[in-house]
Every structure is written in C-alpha cells, then in structure tokens.
Structure 1
Amino acid sequence: MIFRQKSGLCAALILLSQAAPAADKSLKDILAAPPVIERKAPATSVPVKVRAGKLFVEAAANGQTRQFIFDTGSPTILTRRFADTLALTYVGQNTGVDANGAKVTMDIAVLDQLSIGDVEFRKVPVLVFDYSGLPLAPCIFDGGVIGSEIFPGSVWQIDAGKGRLSVAKDASALGIKQPLVRTRLYDFGYPHAPIVDYKAGNIADKALFDTGSTAEVSLFSGVYENPTVQAAILPGSMKAGRGSEGTSAGGTGAATDLARFELSRISLGSKAIQDLHGTTRSVPPTLLGAGLLQRYIVSLDYTKGEFILEKRAEAAPARKQAGYAVTLGADHASVTQLFHGSEAEAAGLKLGDQVIALQGQSLQVSSDTNRCEKANWLFDSFDAAAPTTITVLRDGAPITLQIPASN
C-alpha cells in the first residue's frame, strides 16, 4: 500500500497559495530557508524498521516522540491529529498532487524542533494533513511522514541490512569506502527531493529516489513503452496485469494497466546496475525505490551533491512476487491487482472480488480496532506468494478458491 504525497520532479511539483502572511517572512522565504541544524556529534544513527514495505523511524517533534514513515519522495507531513497537540502556527497552504495524480490540499506550518537521534532540525516547514478519510491511516500513521526538506546540509545513509538510518555532517563520518555508484544528486529547491540521472535503453532522464515506493525501479509508462527499453527487459520476465497502483493521500488510485519485469540494466551516471525488478507507473517521474535497499546501502550526500550506492555485505533473500494483491478498505477487503497468466487468475480470482477470508482468517471489518488488527495481519503475516485459500463473494454467495504458490 502506498501512503504518500508525491511532489513530482524539480518541485514542479507544488502549487503554493499563502493563506495568511507570517509575521516577518513570506511563505516563499520560509520554504527557501535552509534547515537550521544542531549536532552533538559528526554522525548519529537511529533504528529503521521495515513494515508494509515502508521505512519507520522514531523522531521527536517539539519534544513529542512518535513513529514516522521515512519517505525520501515526500515533504514532511504531520497528521492533523498529532499536529493539533503541538499548537502550531499555520503560515499557508499547499495544493499538490499525490502519487496517483490526485490533487490534495494541505496546511503549512513551521515546526520549532524536529529531532532524529542526536541531531536537531529547527524551524522546519511541515505540511499538515487530515488522514481520517483513509480507512487504514490509523493503522499506519503515528506522527506522520519525515521527508526531504530537512535533507540539505547533511549526508543521509540508509542501511536496511543493519536496520539503521544515519545522519552525518559529511561523508567521512560514515566511512564510505568503495561505492559501486557515485553520481550527481540534484537539489532543485523545496522540498529538496533527491533527483538523479538515469538511462534505460536509449532513454536518458531524471528519476526520484523514493523510499515510499517498494520496487527497485518504477518506470514511467512513457519510458517503459520505448522500444529500446523494451529490448532491455529480460526475456520471459514481463508480466502484464490490471489494477490500482496503490493508495496515496488522495485515496486509492483507479484501475490501470500494470506491468512487472526484470530490467537487464540501468545506468546511474557512468555506472550500471543490473537485473532490476521493475514496475510501471502511469504518472511521471520514474522512481528508484526502497527495493534497492535489499541489495545496496544508499547515501544521499547533500553536502557534495552525490548519490552513492554501496553493495550490502549480504543481500536480502529474494522473495517471489504474487500474481494478485488484496487491499483492506473501510468495511471489507478486495482484490486490487491481478496479473494475467498468474496462478491466482488460473484459480478463478477476479479483479474487484470482495474477499471474505484468507487462509481461514476473516477479513470482514466490524470496528476501527478490528480493521487495524486485520490490516496488521495482512502487513506482517500474510504471504500472497505462498499457497493460499481465499474466500470471495460472488453473486451474493461465498466461494472458496485454492491458489498455488507463485512461480
């Protein structure tokens, strides 16, 4: 599931409207100001946990500690519920588009202090959004999202193998030795999203490094359809399907054509990485996602403008991909993705099927607490690629299907 606001490239991105002038600064000045950083040491590290494909870290906003999603492809967003406990001063509004292209309006406030480990960021512009319209938001969000506007002035390193997020004054404090990739990192201004050059086939473009995306690479469909990119897809690896690309701030995306594949190579600057698991997305830009963290340590050096990949000592075990996806909504679960020729399709599963139970576990929702219990089971325990017993509702009656393990 994808819960994020996507800023788009070059902050081309965000349409700003000043709701009320700040006392001594315009909204543009507030957003353009570099983060004020206070460090107790050259580097600090905090645990990072992966859940539902998202990275979670602990941080303190104005002294109140919460769990946050760490999303490099998003500005920092506080939940309305949490923001209301902080007595924030609002300075404007932001109207932008989410990951599915839907327009979303959020308030803008200035947070006095945001602490991650032993580093403090002061006077941080943050967005505030009421996630209550998203049924699973209470199951996912605590404080909100920590995003990219605090990246300038530091080196950010994500090492999923060690479960660690590090923030450093410079790269020397992190001991980076022989990186596989060291290429230019672009910063086009607020919200300071991490942008890199890439080349697939004969297409040279820019991509957003976005830990809110679970794939290794998500190619914009306009790039994916290029013949030279098609030629770079490993034979037999392409799987076509139909369904939603995920849920973002504006809600669940409409059904669209989907594709999964293995890309033989993609170039980042002058270096190439090989055999990437990829997906398509209907809106630009192309994303380099959290899937890369299964093989690489990623460092975003905003002090020198460098994007750095180091090989992990040991890559995470490869996981098979299921031919379908189930998403829990307000009162029931449904099949939101289905790939053609998959074991699920052969077993009789249909896109849009209402799912009553998986592996004998009821997915019928009776309360908010009950919904989160079922969502947590889906996130943490259910493996859609394993042999599955699924019960769906057809013509008002339940039918049970047996789906073999994914190949």
Structure 2
Amino acid sequence: MNVTGYIISLCCAVFFTAHSQTADDIRKMVNDVGADNSNFYYEIPFEYPGEIVIRAEVGGELHNFLFDTGGYTMIDAALLQKNNFTILGKQLLSSTNGLAKETDIVKAGQFNIGGLVFNDVKAYCIELDNSPKLQCMVDGGIIGSAIIQNYIWQIDYPNKKIIVTDNIERLPGMEGALKIPVYLNGNLQPYFMSRINGRSQWLMFDTGCASQLWIGDKDATNFIDTAPAKTKIIGGSVETHHGRVSDGINVFKADCVVNGLEFNATPAYYREGSGLTLFGNPVIKDYIVTLNFAQGEMYFKPIKEKPAAKQWEGFGFTLEYMEGDYKIATVIAGTAAEKAGLVPGDRITVINGKKITCPDFCGCWQEFSQLLENSQEVILTANKNGKARQVKITKGKIF
C-alpha cells in the first residue's frame, strides 16, 4: 500500500447551533430526507481516484459528489449561488483536521442519483476552493449519511459500480459474505467493533477517509507505546471540506480484526487534535462491501478467494505542484527517501529522465499518483540551494 501525500478525511461533527434551534433540532432537520422509492434496483457507476465519486443531478445539472458514509450531505457554494437555494440557518461545523467554521444549511431540493430520487434534501454549504485535492475530484459536494442510511448500497470495486436497492435479495453474489453488526450514532454515522493489536476498539466506517485506519488522538494513546513499529510523515497535512491543516502525521503498525476478517500490518495514522477513529475506503479494493444501515448491518465479501497478505510499502515520499514548481511534499522518516537526503520543499525538475510538464495541481496530482503507484524505481533530479543532483530510490517495505 502506498501512503498518499496527505490524508483526506471528511468526517464532521456539530459543535453548537446558531439562532434558537437546538443541536437536536438541526440534526433532525438535516437527517430528514424524502426517500419514497420502493421496489427498485439501480446500478450507479463510480470513479475511484482515492475516493468513491458518483454523479448526481442537483438543480437540473449533473455534478460529481463524494459518496461518504461518515459525513453530512454537502453542496459547494457555487451550487448555492447558481440555484439560489433557500438558506435555513447556520451551524458551527467541525471536521477531522480540527477546523471548524460556521456553515450555511440550505434546502437543496431534489437529488437524482442514477435514477434514484431523494426529495427535500437539506445540505451544508462548503467551499471546495479551500480543499485542493477534493476540488480535483468533485464539483458538487458530498452524498452523506442522511441519504445513504435509507437504502441498501453494494460497492463493487472491480466493476466500478454501486448497486442500490430496497431489497437485499436482489443483490448478486451475497453468498459467502460476512455480516458485520453496525451501530448508527445520532448523526447516522456507522460504527462497528474491532480489535486493534489485541485491544477492543470502535471504528466508524467512513468511505470519505482515504486511509484504511485513522486513529483519534485519545484512542491512539492506547496503542502507541506497545506498537510493533512506528514512524512519522514529515510535511504531512490533513484535508477536509474545510481546508488543509499542515502537521506532522504519526503512524504505527496495526493488526486489525473485524469479526474474523484480518487486516494485518496496516498503517494507522494519527495526529494531535483529531478525535475520530475511522476505518476508511481502501477496503473496497479487496472486498465487495454492502451497506444495509437501516437494518444495522453491513457485509464484506472477498473479491478474490483470499485477499493477498499486504505490507506497507512505498518510496517514502510524495510530490506536489506548488506555486508553479514541482516539489517534495512529504517524506516518511526512516525510509530510503529520507536517507537519500530528500526533505519537503525540495524542487524536482526531472523524473526518470523526463522533464515534468504537468500544468496544475490536479493534473500533477494524477500524474504523480500514477507514477508512484505503478513504478518500482524512480530517479529524481532534485534542486536545492541552486544545486542539482540525481537521487535513485527503490520502492520498499516501510513496515
């Protein structure tokens, strides 16, 4: 598994409400979605640039949305301005990276997701301009827990489709799927019990989290002293719907067991100020995941007869487009990249003998991600203090 340049996680929580409405009033309003469909079966294509991205029609036009079991339904401010949606109130909304902003709650009306219609949808209004990686993937916003909890959704990664229905018997290939009991909290976010390094731990199943394991800072204290391996991502940052926060990100080696399913040697990320503990979307690469939250359950079925044993491997660095230059964004302590002297901010001009020419953040993010995913060795020309040098790095085990 390759570590990304920074972690994206879109879980959110309410701190307090403005005006005369209580937190419970706001929660009930946002979670109240008109879902009157019956006896249906739809197949919805999705893309996976590290997040599950689906198309939905809002205001008469199609837009890209994240499919996020851990978040509220949200729309970009541009949609609010274009459609003149009614603003119902404001609320201080927090996010996983510790940022909190007063956010408009709007009546966004009808959402059409692949033919499945939801009426009277309420959504939080966010500004995607603050989140560069998120902006590369979506222009609409986030399909959140208030919509997802109504029906049964099967995420089929090999075929890049989500099947949604109101009858689980209509789903293909459920034989042999392992049932996981799920608890929904007051925000309709799904939790299941796990064991991490032999210790019981509640996890939120969050398809908006690009890391398999993200550990809240308080929960992390239960594991870090006895973890079999630890490291740190230098220059890391955490991006959510509110923007990015730059910070060192700590990582420890975790063996995670969920109702008999084993996820061994998994990097578990944590940082100060992040309170939620999450189980993210990379699991869909190995399992067909079926969500039936209304019945308090979800299902994992292996895509292969037995998912391959994994270890955390990579080059130990990431690249980003920054202000017209191409620079080292992060370096993992103890890896070949750090030993070769790479540090965040080093300017890179040539990779494998080819000059870098991608024109902007999104184009470079896609190009660099594919390069580091598909290569086993890279040769960089790094410039620092006006001096150029070549650095050869081989992909290897981190732990």
Normalising by the smaller structure, the TM-score range is 0.7 to 0.9
SS of 1:172's partner is helix
Q: Is the 8 A contact 1:39 1:118 kept in 2?
A: no
Q: Which residue of 1 aligns with 2:243?
A: 251
Q: Which residue of 2 aligns with 1:290?
A: 281
Q: Does 1:114 align with 2:111?
A: yes
Deviations 1:196-253 (A, max 9, x none): 222224532321111222232233354444369946x5xxx65544331432234332
SS of 1:84's partner is helix
**Match of 2:266, as an amino acid?**
H
Q: Which residue of 1 aligns with 2:208?
A: 212
**Match of 1:31, as an amino acid?**
V
Q: Does 1:93 align with 2:78?
A: no
Q: Which residue of 2 aligns with 1:30?
A: 29
Alignment of 1:7-406 (within 5 A): 7=12, 13-18=13-18, 27-33=26-32, 35-39=33-37, 41-51=39-49, 53-136=50-133, 138-175=135-172, 177-190=174-187, 192-226=188-222, 230=226, 233=228, 238-261=230-253, 263-268=254-259, 271-275=260-264, 277-282=266-271, 283-313=274-304, 315=307, 320-359=313-352, 370-383=360-373, 386-406=376-396
TM-score (norm 1): 0.82
Greater Cα shift, 125-134 or 373-382: 373-382
Q: Is the 8 A contact 1:49 1:55 kept in 2?
A: yes
**Match of 1:323, as an amino acid?**
G
Separation in 2, partners of 1:360, 1:137: 30
Cα–Cα, structure 1 residues 218 and 379, in superposed 2: closer, same or farther, change >3 Å? same
Separation in 1, partners of 2:166, 2:148: 11
Q: Which residue of 1 aligns with 2:11?
A: 6
User: Shift in Å at residue 6 of structure 1?
Assistant: 2.0
Separation in 2, partners of 1:322, 1:94: 42
SS of 1:266's partner is strand
Instruction: Give the length in aligned residue pairs.
Output: 385
Q: Quote the sequence identity (%).
A: 19
Separation in 1, partners of 2:185, 2:112: 25
Q: Is the 8 A contact 1:40 1:118 kept in 2?
A: no
Separation in 1, partners of 2:189, 2:112: 20
Structure 1 stretches of at least 4 aligned residues deviating more than 6 Å after TM superposition: 316-319
Separation in 2, partners of 1:165, 1:93: 33
Separation in 1, partners of 2:15, 2:354: 44
Q: Which residue of 2 aligns with 1:10?
A: none
Unpaired runs of 5+ residues, structure 2, are 1-5
Greater Cα shift, 156-165 or 217-226: 217-226
SS of 2:182's partner is strand
User: Shift in Å at residue 68 of structure 1?
Assistant: 1.6
Separation in 2, partners of 1:372, 1:280: 24
Unpaired runs of 5+ residues, structure 1, are 8-12
Q: Is the 8 A contact 1:4 1:74 kept in 2?
A: no
Cα–Cα, structure 1 residues 277 and 301, in superposed 2: closer, same or farther, change >3 Å? same
Separation in 1, partners of 2:128, 2:382: 29
Greater Cα shift, 160-169 or 35-44: 35-44
Separation in 2, partners of 1:296, 1:18: 42
User: Shift in Å at residue 136 of structure 1?
Assistant: 4.8
TM-score (norm 2): 0.84
User: Shift in Å at residue 28 of structure 1?
Assistant: 4.9
Deviations 1:279-322 (A, max 9, x none): 22222322111111121111221221112211114658968433
Separation in 1, partners of 2:297, 2:385: 56
User: Shift in Å at residue 110 of structure 1?
Assistant: 1.5
